[in-house]
Amino acid sequence: MLHFPQNFLWGAATSSYQVEGGNSNSDWWHWEKKNGLVNSGPACRQYELFAQDFELARSQNHNAHRLSLEWARLEPQEGEFSEQELKHYIEVIDALVSRGMEPVVTLHHFTNPLWLSDSGGWENPAAVKYFLRYCKFVVSALAGRVRFWITINEPLVYIYHSYILGVWPPQKKSVLSAMRAEGHLVAAHIKAYRLIHKLYNDLGLDKPNVSIAKNVQAFVACRDNFLDRLGTILRDYWYNIRIIDKLTRHNAIDFIGLNYYSRQLVEVKNWGIANLIMDTCSLNHHPLKKNSLGWDIYPEGLYNLLICFKKYNLPVIITENGICTDDDGLRWEYIYGHLKQLHQAIGNGVKVAGYLYWSLLDNFEWDKGFTPRFGLNEVNYDTYARTPRDSARKYAEVCKTGAI
C-alpha cells in the first residue's frame, strides 16, 4: 500500500457553467445561440441538484470539492449585484461544509458576464477593476466559509482557445489581443490575491490560501535533435512555468494549483518562432493509450512537472486531473497511474496537499458538447440521473483509506 499524507484533500472538481445549466447571462450562452454548434442548455441541472450531488460526493468519501461561481449570475448587469444569487451560492457552500467537505472555490472559469464581453472582455483594461469589484462582493460574503480560492482557471487555455485558435468566445485570432488579455488576467489575479488577503485580515480570519489553477502539459521531444529539444525547453518555460514564476516573484500565490491531463510530442519542422512553439508530431511516433478526445495518457509527465515546481517550496494541489473515456476500466487505470506518480513525487519532497479528479460528473465540455465523459459518475441527459461508475467506487476507497 502507498500511503498519502494525513489531512490530504481528496475530491473532485467541476465548474459552474459546465454543470449548473441555464447560465443565460454568460457570454458562452449567447455565443452558443449564435453559432449553433453546441448547446449547454440545462447542463447537469446542478443549479437545482447541488445538494444531491454533494451527498453523492460525500457518500464516495470525498473530503474536498472544487467548484466555481458564475460571475454572470452574481453580477448580471454591470455594477448590479444579485443578493439572491449570492444567497444561492452561500447555500451551495454550506451544503459542502455541512457534509464535511472543504470547498475550493474558483472565481473565474472561462465564462464572463455578457456585459463584460460586450465592453471588450479581457482585452479591456477595465476588466481588472470589474473583476476586483466582483471578488470583493463574493469574497466578503463567503470568507468565513472558504479557505481555498482559485482566482482564474487555466489562464493560458482560455487565451489560446479564445484569442489564438478563435474557437471559443470572443473567437479572435490575434496575438496582440491574446497578449493584452493575458496581461489583464495575470494583473487581475495579483490584485485579487492582495484583496482577498486584506479582506480576511480585516475580518480577523486566518490567512486564506489563494492561487490560480494552472494547466500544465508534459512537453516531450519527438526526436533526439536540437530543434525538438529547444522547442521542448521553450514550451516548458512559456506554457508551464512563466506565469507561476511571475506570481511567486510578486508574492501572490500561497499554493500551486495544477491541472494536468496529457503530454504534447514536440516535433519542430522548421526554424521559426511559430514552429518552435506550435509544431507537434503528426505521425503518432511513440504511441500511448489515449482518452476519447485523442489526448495521450502520460502519468510520468505529472511526476516530472511536480519535481520541476519543487523549487518554489510551496504546497501543490492537483486542482484537476482526469480522463474522458467510454472505457471506465481505462479511467481507473488513469487515476491509479497518476496517483502513483503523485505519491512518488511526495516521496521526493514535493509538498502535495490534495488531489481533485476532473470531474465529479459527466458535464458540458465546452465546444465539444456533452460527448466526452469525464465523470466518476455518469449523467443520463434525459433523466438527469447520476450513476456511479466502478471507478467512482474504487476512488472512494482511496479517499477513505488515503492509500492506493
Please give the positions annotated as active site.
Answer: 320
Query: Could you count the other beta carbons within 10 Å of the beta carbon of residue 311?
Result: 10
Residue 155 or 231: the one with the smaller Cβ distance to ligand IFM is: 155
Candidate residues 320, 341, 346, 357; the one interacting with ligand IFM per rule CB under 6 A: 320
365 binds ligand IFM (CB under 6 A): yes
Quick one: cell of 185?
A: 488576467
154 binds ligand IFM (CB under 6 A): yes
How far apart are alpha carbons 77 and 150 in whole angstroms?
23
162 binds ligand IFM (CB under 6 A): no
70 binds ligand IFM (CB under 6 A): no
Minimum Å distance from CB 154 to ligand IFM? 6
Strand partners, 356: 11
Query: Could you count the other beta carbons within 10 Å of the beta carbon of residue 271?
Result: 9
Minimum Å distance from CB 107 to ligand IFM? 14
Residue ranges in 1-30 that form contacts with ligand IFM under rule CB under 6 A: 15, 18
Residue 94 or 378: the one with the smaller Cβ distance to ligand IFM is: 378
Residue ranges in 257-286 that form contacts with ligand IFM under rule CB under 6 A: 259
For every residue of 259-318, DSSP letters joined together read EEEEEEEE---SSSHHHHHH-B-SS--S---B-TT-PBP-HHHHHHHHHHHGGG---EEE
160 binds ligand IFM (CB under 6 A): no
Residue 200 or 321: the one with the smaller Cβ distance to ligand IFM is: 321
Q: Which of 125, 111, 116, 185 is nearest to 151 (CA)?
A: 185
Residue 143 or 293: the one with the smaller Cβ distance to ligand IFM is: 293
75 binds ligand IFM (CB under 6 A): no
For the chain, the 3-state helix, strand and coil shares in percent, each to the nearest 5, are 45, 20, 35
For every residue of 362-401, DSSP letters joined together read ----GGGTT-S---SEEE-TTT--EEE-HHHHHHHHHHHH
- Burial status of residue 313 (CB atoms within 10 A of its CB: 0-12, 13-18, 19 or more): exposed
122 binds ligand IFM (CB under 6 A): no
> Parallel, antiparallel, or unpaired for β 209-221 and 148-153?
parallel
358 binds ligand IFM (CB under 6 A): yes
Minimum Å distance from CB 321 to ligand IFM? 10
Residue 231 or 377: the one with the smaller Cβ distance to ligand IFM is: 377
Residues that bind ligand IFM in the complex, under the rule CB under 6 A = 15, 18, 154, 259, 320, 358, 365
